Amino acid sequence: MKSPALSILFAGWLLTGAAHAGAADHVHASHAWIRVLPGNLPAGAYVTLRNDGDQAIALSGASSTVYADVMLHRSSTAGGMSRMTMVDALSVPAHGEAVLAPAGYHLMLMQANATVKPGDTVRLTLNFTDGSRLATDFLARPANAMDAGDDHSGH
Ligand SMILES: [Cu+2]
């Protein structure tokens, strides 16, 4: 049995889904940068995400034309040992922010198909669990860069 009311609900759900597949309008990225390591080593990408919306949103990962694979990781230290674990999603609370920074959450960029040098800008498309996306330009910085506030890299 198929009720008309159910069909209407389903159509509404589809429309909502389509709207969510667009830009993450309420999320703003700042301090977006990549720590470039020599050779073809994976690079960490860091960014501050601010959510001006009334609903929490969750970062699930990112994609890029430059890197074949991007994963969401978290670094942690236990007993003096540093390790990285995979993260399914990082929540950005309503009217709050989430920070990806060295020694914490980061996007791990792997298998670059082009050489990324300090000073380059690399666009990553941030993906959220509701299907929305946010294209963000990341500034490549040298391996010894500590955080986005450190702009005295001298290159
Ligand atoms: Cu990592």
Q: Which domains does the chain have, with CATH numbers?
A: 24-141 (2.60.40.1890)
Mean pLDDT, the chain, rounded, equals: 86
Strand 27-35 vs strand 133-141: parallel, antiparallel, or unpaired?
parallel
Average pLDDT, integer, range 95-102: 96
Does 33 score more than 80 pLDDT? yes
44 alpha carbon to ligand 1 midpoint, in Å? 6
Cα 3 to ligand 1 centre (Å): 49
**pTM exceeding 0.85:** no
Which tens digit of pLDDT belongs to each residue from 110-143?
999 999 999 999 999 999 999 999 999 999 999 8
CA of 71 to the centre of ligand 1 (A): 7
Q: What pLDDT is attached to residue 78?
A: 85
